[in-house]
Amino acid sequence: MRIELPKETERLGAVLIHGIQKVFELESGLETDLERPGNGLMIQRMPYEAENEIEKRMAIVIPMRNERIKLVEGVLTGIPNQCLTFIVSNSSRSPVDRFAIEKDAFERFARFTSKQIVLVHQKDPCLAEACRAAGYTAILDEKDGLIKSGKAEGMILAKLLVSLSGCRYIGFIDADNYFPGSVLEYVREYAAGFFIGKSNYIMVRISWHSKPKIIDDGLFFAKWGRTSRQTNHFLNMFIAAYTGFETDIIKTGNAGEHAMTMDLALTLDYSSGYSIEPNHFINIFERFGGLGGKSLSEEIIEKHVQIFQIESRNPHLHNVGKGEGHVEEMTCGAFQVISQSPLCPENIKKKLQQEIAVMQQEFPNSVKPVDYYPSLSGINETAFMEAIREQPYADVIQKCYKRKI
């Protein structure tokens, strides 16, 4: 891959937020290939070997709930074989056991491709028990004792499993993506961020080049949806309130497609549902921004947290028929986590609360309070591993876990 280096960077304490980077080539050859002179200083080449080395240490997580299997198979096709793949499904088990059908299809896919796929169901009682044994009960439902529904809760579970596998990096890819080529591109862009980054705490977020829509019988390549426009706007206002300079640096407030080093993944606190992605920014500001009189550890100041935002080249086409109130649920989740931060400036908080109140009236079923979950640092991994040892999905994890300890 050949990619532009960040042209601008905003700094907030130990957090470096890099501006959007364009991709110039999806594949730029091998390490030994000679470069012609004139390669600009602002463009970085990531040779294939370097990309491959990073991907061998990267787990890709697919959160899914009642998606069409054909779509998910397409997503699996786009994930390089060297990445360990985790699918966390929250699909319904009755009246039709959709998970059983998924299991059958993905196991077959894994056999055909020799791909290492770990498939789990979010409501597996054994996984809830393992969370309990590991001392991480925040994501469990008080009523039935199982892991709560929600994309964020599935992602947190995945982080736990990936941590056991000893992978250094974790990347997320939604299951409802129509283009396998764009999936491969996202993985390469994650690798490029880790390749360029100089810290143990790196996050890479994808900004879609375009989302094709059919308008008046023609294709229109839209760049921004309403939710991301608004989320980005308020996150930028948040930064500007502290730096004193207006900015438009954040372009990926809602990025479902994102990756991070496991060091960062295990440090962050999380929030529920679709608010998890915008909350990454807020939580990173809270913990590493040095704001509100909070002093930072020497280690963090020295190393920084680096956030890369990479603009993908493939159009992004996903399943858009997710029903009434879906957009509002996402927008509201973002507004809630921004406005509820103790660091949120008063004027921004007020504006957001007004917007939330309007959405609450219009879509009372979609707007729910956000739950907050503590970080995974300090969980008892040995107890978790012990609790899932007998499960079929533990096989791959266990092999990797042994390498880790």
Residue ranges binding ligand GDP (CB under 6 A): 63-65, 67, 88, 90, 122, 149-151, 154, 174-176, 256, 318-319, 322
Residue 67 binds to Co ion (criterion: CB under 5 A): no
Which residues, listed in sequence order, are joined to residue 358 by a DSSP beta bridge?
A: none
CA distances from 275 to 153, 187, 289, 367, 370 (A): 11, 23, 20, 11, 8
Phi, psi of 358, deg, nearest 5 = -65, -45
Judged on CB neighbours under 10 Å (0-12, 13-18, 19+), 250 is buried
Stretch that binds Co ion, among 13-21, 102-110, 168-176, 392-400 (CB under 5 A): 168-176
Q: Which of 188, 175, 179 is nearest to 55 (CA)?
A: 188
Residue whose C-beta lies closest to ligand GDP: 154
Question: Crossing angle, helix 180-196 and helix 48-56, to 10 degrees?
Answer: 90
| Cβ-proximal residues to 325 (8 Å cutoff; 6+ apart), any chain | 363, 365, 366
Instruction: Name which of 7 and 322 has its Cβ closer to ligand GDP.
Output: 322
Shortest CB 154 distance to ligand GDP, Å:
3
124 counts as binding Co ion under rule CB under 5 A:
no
Minimum distance of ligand GDP from residue 65's CB (angstroms): 4
Q: Which residues pair with 278 in a beta bridge?
A: none
Give which of ligand GDP, Co ion, none residue 83 binds (C-beta under 5 to 8 Å, depending on kind): none
Query: Which candidate, 77, 60, 61, places its Cα nearest to that of 113?
Result: 77
- Residue 67 interacts with, from ligand GDP, Co ion, none (CB under 5-8 Å by kind): ligand GDP
- Residue closer to ligand GDP by CB (options 149, 380) is 149
Could you say which of 176, 189, 257, 328 contacts Co ion (CB under 5 A)?
A: 176
> Least CB distance from residue 151 to ligand GDP, whole Å?
4
Which residues is 310 bridged to in the sheet? 21, 206
Q: List, in order, residues 6 or more apart from 260 with CB less than 8 Å away.
A: 169, 170, 201, 202, 203, 204
Q: Cα–Cα distance between 180 and 347 in angstroms, integer?
A: 43
The CA-atom distances, in angstroms, between 101 and each of 93, 110, 322 are 10, 14, 22
**What is the widest separation between alpha-carbon atoms in the chain?**
65
Q: Which is nearer to ligand GDP, 125 or 292 (CB)?
A: 125
Structure tokens at 225: 């949806």
Q: How far is the CB of 351 from Co ion (least distance, A)?
A: 28
Nearer to ligand GDP, 30 or 320 (CB): 320
The site partner of 283 among ligand GDP, Co ion, none (C-beta below 5 to 8 Å per kind) is none
Interaction partner, residue 175 (Co ion, ligand GDP, none; CB < 5-8 Å by kind): ligand GDP
318 is a contact residue toward Co ion (CB under 5 A): yes
Least distance in Å: CB of 200 to Co ion?
A: 30
Q: C-beta of 327: minimal distance to ligand GDP in Å?
A: 8
Between 176 and 311, whose beta carbon lies closer to ligand GDP?
Answer: 176
How near is the Cβ of 189 to ligand GDP at its closest, in Å? 18
Burial of 37 (0-12, 13-18, 19+ CB in 10 A): exposed
**CB of 16 or CB of 79, closer to Co ion:** 79
Q: Which does 65 bind (CB under 5 to 8 A by kind): Co ion, ligand GDP, none?
A: ligand GDP
Q: Please state the closest distance from residue 41 (CB atom) to ligand GDP, in A.
A: 37
Q: Of 115 and 151, which CB lies nearer to ligand GDP in the complex structure?
A: 151
Q: How far is the CB of 319 from Co ion (least distance, A)?
A: 5
Q: Which is nearer to Co ion, 6 or 256 (CB)?
A: 256
Closest to Co ion by CB, 176 vs 311, is 176
Q: Per the structure block, which two tokens stand in for 270? A: 């999380």
Estimate to the nearest angstrom the gap between the alpha carbon of 107 and the chain centroid: 24
List residues near Co ion by CB under 5 A.
Answer: 174, 176, 318
